[in-house]
Amino acid sequence: MINYIIKRLLALIPILIGVAVIVFLIVHLIPGDPAQTMLGERATDEALQRLREQMGLNDPLPVQFWRYVKDLLRGDLGRSIMSNNPVSAELAQRFPATLELSFFAIMFAVLVGIPAGIFASINQNSWFDNLSMLIALMGVSMPIFWLGLMFIWLFAVELGWFPPSSRIGVGLDFTPITNLYVIDSILQLNFSALKDILHHLVLPAVALGTIPMAIIARMTRSSMLEVLRKDFIRTAYAKGLKRKVVIFKHALKNAMVPIITVVGLQFGVLLGGAVMTETIFSWPGLGKYLVDAIYARDFPIVQGGILFFAGVFVIVNLIVDLSYALVDPRIQYE
Amino acid sequence: MSDSKKNKVMKKNTNPWFEAWRRLLQSKIGIAGLGIIIFLILVAVLAPVLAPYNPFEQNILARYKAPSSEHLLGTDEMGRDILSRIIYGSRISLQVGLVSVSLALVFGVGFGLLAGYYGGKIDMVIMRFMDIMLAFPSILLAIGIVAILGPQLKNAMLAIGIINVPRFARIVRSSVLSIKESEYISAAKALGAGDLRIVFKHLLPNAMAPLIVQTTLSIATAILEAAALSFLGLGAQPPSPEWGAMLSDARSSLQRAPWVATFPGLAIIFGVLGFNLLGDGLRDALDPKMKNV
């Protein structure tokens, strides 16, 4: 297993290099002058010249590429045009907000989607089964940003149950440490802040988690249905085992591999969805920052942000692959 | 019935495509999907006849009118009729779906054939490149491409096409690999068939079933992706009645006029649902083994 992990980690290196190359090429090979694009049509020649020099755009492409790789290896993603702060610091500051949102969204998706899928599969063709599959089908056809807008309209504007935007109410006594607000507030035993933070989290997390929830429910159902038809399930019942034991211990465990796969794949969808959800809920995470950077034509941020998202995505996929062995001992890695 | 006619009927019935079409017509979801898509195409073609108003015509006196008999789905901040805009928007969504997926199809099939048929180094280079593209969450790669190319519908279609190439390449490659070594391919080679003939006459037709399914499902995601890009201001630009762009305009008026945000979203769901249903139906019809996968 350890050998396999090392092998997989080594195999990541060329992929990550490739990702870095593509991001570099997107910015540098496309016709047009990045400095001009960044500063707009009306920029003066001096300003353009200054920016080109600052970004090293006057050097030949291979020189630029070499410098980019060298900087990248040192964790240096350049400086933001907007703030002049290092890109890595800007990204690191905002990532916890995205992580927190994604975590609660995937928790919601898993905790609702898997039980719903199991329940639908053991009551195949019941009204619950049909309804949940209809919701799942709508879920895969729905734009996440529309769902977010509808949530804001219904639960924030009309009913007033939840705040429509941001991570925490104004005027609350709270000092972030790790920027993972939930953890910070627990560490500080600041329960009034914790309540407020969770209150702010509900709408965006549920909006972001709904579509993955629908897909996970659909996959759980079809994977369970497949296992429930197998001979060993009949044997388990014949042995006189309780229904609960058969379903959770025998069936679910065997149905888990495709479910984990889809949960992992959904994490990637979630990262993309975070861009939209954060924009709608004014959530100060990486996704919203990336969109703001695009509007501001802050290319170092765009470049670094996409690279960062891709890196997280690749690592999550690896973790998903490795987790198969935990749920299914038949899977052995060489 | 004359003999030749009889032969024709017999031949038709044993044709796998005819068989698949028959199965599709028996599947409820396939029919529902097909119905929605035909409806959408009719709406797009007949837009000038169906739309009660000019989708671009502004009327400051009729801003934020709630749905009524005069404006069935209400009006937006510029007093434009939302129903008319949604009707014209169907043209854009269908166009985006077709153009971007055709692009992905052409390049994806090309790369997949090259990689699968020639194997070796060509295969390795192409497929590693595809792996790298798949290492990006797809909408983020599209956002990156459009951010650099500039926010236009044309560039959004290009970006969506690019991010969908790897999926097609993988399907074609695996299908080519599965039959490349079959005896009938060796036989064709022995008979002196050239590479092109083998690829287009024998290998590609074998990949058709999964390709058709993937194309249909990809149109659904392409419409969603284009709406997302337009919503972020990176796709269709105002005053274009693209459904995602209409939602972007609606953000500021949620409290005052929720219908401005509601109906374009429902239109997106309807269109995407059509292609998803047809894709599911086609999958069941073309390859019963793939059911529920």
> Got the DSSP string for A246-264?
IIIIIIIHHHHHHHHHHHH
- A48: tokens are 């353009």
Q: Is A145 part of the contact surface with chain B (CB cutoff 8 Å)? A: yes
The predicted structure's pLDDT at residue B5:
54
Question: Which of A15, A144, A146 comes nearest B131 by C-beta?
Answer: A15
Share in percent of chain B as helix, strand, coil (round to 5): 80, 0, 20
The CATH class of B43-56+73-288 is mainly alpha
Domain ranges of chain A: 1-74, 94-327
Which amino acid does the sequence have at A262? V
Taking the C-alpha atoms of residue A25 and residue A28, their distance in angstroms, rounded to an integer, is: 5
Measured between CA atoms, how close is A211 to chain B, in angstroms? 13
Phi, psi (degrees; rounded to nearest 5) at B224? -65, -45
Residue among A143, A279, A314 minimizing CB distance to B224: A143
Residue B288 confidence (pLDDT): 56
- 0.90 exceeded by pTM: no
- CA-CA-CA-CA torsion sign (A194, A197, A199, A203): negative
Report the topology of domain A94-327. MetI-like fold (1.10.3720)
Contact assessment for residue B135 and residue A19, using Cβ atoms and an 8 Å cutoff? yes
- pLDDT tens per residue across span B45-63: 999 999 898 898 888 888 8
B29-45 pLDDT, tens digit each:
889 999 999 999 999 99
Q: Helix A87-122 vs helix A299-327: angle between axes, to the nearest 10 degrees?
A: 40
Give A222 to chain B, closest Cα distance, Å: 6
Which DSSP helix (H) or strand (E) runs through B115?
helix B82-118
Confidence of residue B291 (pLDDT cuts 50, 70, 90): very low
Nearest CA among A294, A299, A270, A287 for reference residue A103: A270
User: What digits encode the pLDDT tens for the residues B182-199?
Assistant: 888 888 888 888 888 888
Output helix, strand, coil percentages for chain A, rounded to the nearest 5: 75, 0, 25
Structure-block tokens of residue B238: 């105002």
8 A C-beta contact, residue A55 and residue A34: yes
Q: Do A137 and B268 touch (CB under 8 A)?
A: no
- When scoring A22, A146, A321 by the number of chain B Cβ atoms within 10 A, the one with the most, hence best to mutate, is A146
Q: What's residue B6's pLDDT? A: 52
| Strands, E assignment, chain A | none
> Quick one: pLDDT at residue B4?
56
Walk along chain A (334 residues) in steps of 10 and give the mean pLDDT of each run: 81 85 77 70 82 79 86 85 86 91 93 92 86 85 92 91 86 82 86 88 93 89 88 88 86 84 80 86 91 82 87 83 73 60
Q: Where are the domains of chain B?
A: 43-56+73-288
ipTM of the complex: 0.85
**In the predicted model, what is the mean pLDDT of residues B241-256?**
87
Q: Using CB atoms, which residue from A18, A157, A276 is nearest to B132?
A: A18
Q: What is the pLDDT of residue B289?
A: 55
C-alpha to C-alpha distance for B234 and B101, rounded to whole angstroms:
19
